[in-house]
Amino acid sequence: MARDLRGFLKLLEDKGQLRRIDALVDPDLEIAEIANRMLNAGGPGLLFENVKGAAYPVAINLLGTEQRVCWSMNMEKPEELEELGKKLAMLQQPKPPKKLSQAVDFGKVLFDVLKAKPGRNFFPPCQEVTLKDDQLDLNQLPLIRPYPGDAGKIITLGLVITKDCETGTPNVGVYRLQLQSRNTMTVHWLSVRGGARHLRKAAERGKKLEVAIALGVDPLLIMAAATPIPVDLSEWLFAGLYGGSGVALAKCKTLDLEVPADSEFVLEGTITPGEVLSDGPFGDHMGYYGGVEDSPLIRFHCMTHRKDPIYLTTFSGRPPKEEAMLAIALNRIYTPILRQQVSEIVDFFLPMEALSYKAAIISIDKAYPGQARRAALAFWSALPQFTYTKFVIVVDKDINIRDPRQVVWAISSKVDPVRDVFILPNTPFDTLDFASEKIGLGGRMGIDATTKIPPETEHEWGEPLESDPDVAAMVDRRWAEYGLDDLNLQQVDPNLFGYQVH
């Protein structure tokens, strides 16, 4: 298994999913423009080997398809991610086993946890070169600026590592950082995130907060850091569970923090509580520019890196983007956890086009009237990451929720807007959602697109149209006889049906 960035790049190249580009490219706007065209087409990952003003190559779009995200998790199919979700669900809410097989399964998960404990590397590759104080110049990094209205250059795929000054518990998050000077950057994190909590605790004790930024890490670690699952486990342990073995960590040169030993770059610095600078605007995942906010300032005093390091980056924006592909994979991981919280849910899907969290489609095994509404309400409160989901559409279990044609048919044929649509006004909301009349406060909509049963309806529901099973089986047997076996009916071009998908 690839356990560092270089191993993953080799894996992609071996599978024909990496393009090396030796033409001179500018990290200001040009790299993002090229990558965006690749993302829209589901194209390969890119490695720019000749970057203007920089001595280091830039890798981007490595996680630009669901398949490549699966490869980063050492898996082949998205369905395998649900098995990982079952392990996490078992750890989140362990239940006393009622059968021997359940006890065995839980024992296997505990053994996986033991294997996942991080290890220590005393001669880490990430410290092959050390630059301190006046030697440090962040302008040496090939930081990109994705959009013309962006305030400056950014780091997007760095692991931001902090520690609780009271308990010593580390937090690993993926936050955007803006270059402010040769040795300073602002960090943009929400107040509920672990790094922000650690800064508040440090401020209460009159201490600076130590911060390390690990750049160019194994993509599996990025997945672990981006997983907001409420389990009392560190992100390093998550990563070990994801990868099947513990992450090799190394002590920072100047900080009491640990970082992935195989990182390409590591930045070491501190935040003085109360020291802030303006951060933004930048293009964000909603497809618009965000606002300008006073954000904590990190003062860096040390940078270490591997010999001939590679810089890994990405950028936000209207889907498809790499963050949307990560969300699709996380959707699979969440599914068993959500089923454990809301038992009637068969499956759920967060469409990429709905920004990966604004709309959810849920299928249920309907057994009683009003169940669809109950499932929608339960979904909103099941996990913290669904707090900002604006629309929940509930369908029957026989609807393929990942086929928009089936979902639209269910809404069109099974919904009476007066009876089946309900709205919750004035609920806490995403401050980046400009659609809300008041920023931070908005409404939610639930849509019951299930087949109605009394007393939800006073009349008989029509019988769905289905093929005669005997005739269908006969046609299957005779398909080659018809001379049609050369046609692949599993690959459907939506443009043939009036869509314009480019």
Can you say how many angstroms the Cα of residue 286 is from the centroid of all Cα atoms in its chain? 15
Kindly give the residue spans of alpha helices, DSSP state H, lying in 205-314. 219-225, 235-243
CA–CA separation, 8 and 70 (whole Å): 12
List 218, 279, 284, 420, catalytic entry? 284
Taking a C-beta distance cutoff of 8 angstroms, is the pair 147, 281 a contact?
no
* 3-class DSSP state of 184: strand
**CA-to-CA dists, residue 486 to 71, 479, 495, angstroms:** 30, 10, 21
CA–CA separation, 49 and 18 (whole Å): 12
The region that residue 301 occupies, defined by phi over 0 for left and psi between -120 and 50 for alpha, beta otherwise, is: alpha
Tokens of 105: 């399964």
CA–CA separation, 322 and 32 (whole Å): 12
**CA-to-CA dists, residue 174 to 171, 194, 263, 451, 502, angstroms:** 10, 11, 15, 42, 31
Q: At what angle do helices 100-115 and 80-92 cross, to 10 degrees?
A: 100
Report CA dihedral (243, 244, 246, 252) to the nearest 10 degrees: 0
Q: How far apart are the first and last CA of the chain?
A: 34
- Whether residue 281 is preceded by a cis peptide bond, meaning omega within 30 degrees of 0, is yes
Strand 441-449 and strand 391-396: the pairing is parallel
CA–CA separation, 433 and 455 (whole Å): 37
Can you say how many angstroms the Cα of residue 296 is from the centroid of all Cα atoms in its chain? 24
* Known catalytic residue at 398: no
**CB crowding 16-27: b at 16 or more within 10 Å, else e:** ebbbebeeebeb
Q: In this structure, what DSSP letter does residue 455 have?
A: T
- Burial class from Cβ neighbours inside 10 Å (0-12, 13-18, 19+) for residue 49 reads middle
Q: Show which residues are catalytic.
A: 284
